[in-house]
């Protein structure tokens, strides 16, 4: 294959709106449709690679100049993606110190925005490169060390349907607003996908109710790994109380309190391991967090760590410091699940089941959905990611994005969605409890 064949000749960006159920978190409710961006990279050799990332305007604004600058470059120039990202100007109004709702992942910075965009392009380039070379993405990352990747059931408090008057898709999961509902949801997850680890998205109800839900799960699934993640909604004292109540059944407690200093205080006074996808979300945040012993598990997310190769670098840093690594997830489609599975397959010491929202997504842009069997996704050995874009589905979800009736949903806003149920709702101040 000549190097000319590796030249990127076209990059297509397709924003889509994807159906999302009425899931609750500490900031509010999921909208009926959530934005994602699908990236396609075409090479002179005829390969097409696909990637996926966040689709809100702040990401699209960066992705457009990034896409234009990519044409003419080598699809194999993955390091160059970061130089390119640094050269893309970030509008200062896109950066703030509030917790970013599109991921509840700590404060928004220009670097995080750039990396979240670069990651989508990196995955698309790896997919195209894999297709060109006839190699799976995991091989481009050094090769898989396992044949399947384990995921956890990502349990959410939720309503059966979106609020009255809000148009959206329906599903058959039913409501889960108390311990019995949470256990029923967990049973459905095991029946449908075979998951054996459970994570409950907390910070929705007062801690005693969420403690009761975890206790109910522990009784229903004795000995199974359980996690609770209130997205930083608790004070240090509340976090410690919950840790004391649930210490015997928790695999880890995820972001009980907001920010490294608070997490470090909790960690110093409990034996329950703490995980995070909020206080360690960039390499720059690692030194303080690890020096203070604030976290025992870093939940990587290739979207915001800057891609699959950065995820492996993160895993190496974590290994060096004796900190475990696993994987966080937001609402995502099959392209991202494939990418997560390829990189997770190459991380030697993955000891916790990874998170994935994918079971909540009834829609996809692939010709064939990825499947969980026994809670695992099989690692594809086909060239690239091993997925195929369904152009009709992509076009339909893009038409939904273009539809002016859905214009307000092009930005993820969980508080706005919650106001359709409770007009007085505002994003709660933290600590909430």
183-222 residues near ligand GLR, rule: CB under 6 A: 201
Considering the candidates 144, 201, 303, 332, report the single residue annotated as catalytic: 201
Structure tokens at 301: 């997310």
* Residue 112 is a catalytic residue: no
Q: Three-class SS of residue 415?
A: helix
Least Cβ distance, residue 140 to Mg ion (angstroms): 29
Residue closer to Mg ion by CB (options 162, 199) is 199
Catalytic residue status for 376: no
What mask, x for binding ligand GLR by CB under 6 A, covers residues 325 to 364? ---xxxx---------------------------------
132-140, 177-185, 246-254, 307-315 -> range binding Mg ion (CB under 5 A): 246-254
Find which of ligand GLR, Mg ion, none residue 201 binds, CB within 5 to 8 Å per kind: ligand GLR
- Whether 235 and 255 have beta carbons less than 8 Å apart is answered as no
Kindly tell me the sign of the dihedral angle through the C-alpha atoms of 171, 177, 182, 184. Answer: negative
φ, ψ for residue 329, nearest 5 deg: -150, 145
Name the residue with tokens 């990059």.
Answer: 11
Contact predicate 122/306, CB 8 Å: yes
Partner from Mg ion, ligand GLR, none binding residue 346, C-beta < 5-8 Å depending on class: none
Minimum separation from the CB atom of position 410 to ligand GLR (A): 17
Query: Looking only at residues 203 through 242 of this chain, which bind Mg ion when binding is defined by CB under 5 A?
Result: 229
- The site partner of 274 among ligand GLR, Mg ion, none (C-beta below 5 to 8 Å per kind) is none
Least Å from the CB of residue 401 to ligand GLR: 19
264, 85 in Cβ contact below 8 A? no
Sorted by sequence, the CB contacts under 8 Å of residue 30 that are 6+ apart come out as 20, 21, 22, 23, 24, 331, 414, 417
Which of Mg ion, ligand GLR, none sits in contact with 25, Cβ below 5 to 8 A by type?
A: ligand GLR
Q: Name the token pair of 433.
A: 């409890």
How many residues touch ligand GLR (CB under 6 A)? 12
Tokens describing residue 15: 């924003």
Closest-by-Cβ residue to ligand GLR is 25
Which residue in the list 6, 138, 159, 328 is annotated as catalytic?
328
Q: Strand pairing partners for 56?
A: none
Question: What are the residues facing 12 on neighbouring strands?
Answer: 40
Please identify which residue in 32, 55, 103, 130 interacts with ligand GLR, judged by CB under 6 A: 103
Are 99 and 107 in contact, with CB atoms under 8 Å apart?
A: yes
Residue 177 to residue 159: CA distance in whole angstroms: 7
Q: Which residues bind ligand GLR (CB under 6 A)?
A: 23, 25, 103-104, 201, 229, 231, 277, 328-331
The residue ranges that bind Mg ion (CB under 5 A) are: 229, 254, 277
Query: Which residues form the catalytic set?
Result: 201, 328
């Amino acid at each position: 294959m000549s190097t000319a064949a590796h030249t990127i000749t076209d990059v297509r960006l397709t924003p889509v709106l994807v159906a999302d159920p009425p899931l609750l978190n500490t900031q509010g409710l999921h909208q009926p449709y959530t934005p994602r961006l699908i990236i396609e990279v075409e090479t002179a050799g005829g390969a097409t690679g696909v990637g996926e990332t966040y689709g809100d305007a702040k990401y699209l604004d960066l992705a457009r100049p990034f896409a234009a600058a990519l044409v003419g470059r080598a699809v194999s120039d993955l390091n160059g993606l970061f130089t390119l990202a640094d050269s893309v100007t970030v509008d200062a109004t896109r950066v703030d110190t509030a917790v970013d709702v599109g991921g509840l992942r700590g404060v928004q910075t220009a670097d995080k925005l750039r990396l979240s965009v670069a990651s989508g392009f990196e995955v698309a380039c790896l997919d195209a490169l894999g297709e060109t070379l006839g190699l799976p993405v995991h091989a481009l990352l050094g090769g898989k060390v396992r044949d399947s990747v384990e995921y956890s059931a990502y349990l959410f408090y939720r309503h059966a349907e979106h609020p009255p008057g809000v148009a959206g898709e329906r599903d058959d999961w039913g409501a889960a607003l108390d311990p019995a509902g949470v256990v029923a949801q967990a049973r459905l997850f095991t029946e449908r996908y075979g998951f054996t680890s459970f994570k409950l998205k907390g910070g929705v109800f007062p801690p005693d109710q969420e403690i009761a839900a975890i206790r109910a799960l522990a009784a229903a699934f004795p000995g199974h790994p359980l996690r609770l993640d209130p997205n930083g909604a608790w004070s240090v004292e509340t976090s410690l109380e919950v840790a004391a109540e649930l210490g015997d059944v928790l695999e880890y407690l995820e972001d009980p309190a907001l920010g490294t200093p608070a997490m470090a205080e909790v960690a110093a006074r409990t034996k329950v391991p703490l995980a995070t996808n909020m206080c360690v979300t960039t390499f720059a945040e690692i030194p303080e967090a690890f020096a203070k012993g604030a976290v025992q598990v870093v939940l990587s997310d290739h979207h915001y760590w800057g891609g699959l190769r950065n995820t492996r670098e993160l895993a190496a840093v974590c290994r060096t410091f004796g900190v475990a690594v696993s994987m966080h997830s937001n609402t995502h489609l099959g392209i991202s699940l494939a990418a997560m599975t390829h990189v997770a397959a190459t991380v030697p010491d993955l000891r916790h089941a990874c998170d994935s929202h994918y079971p909540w997504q009834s829609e996809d842009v692939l010709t064939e959905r990825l499947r969980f069997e026994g809670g695992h996704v099989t690692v594809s050995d086909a060239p690239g990611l091993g997925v195929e874009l369904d152009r009709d589905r992509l076009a339909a979800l893009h038409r939904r994005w273009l539809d002016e009736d859905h214009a307000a949903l092009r930005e993820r806003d969980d508080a706005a969605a919650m106001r359709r149920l409770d007009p007085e709702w505002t994003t709660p101040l933290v600590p909430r409890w």
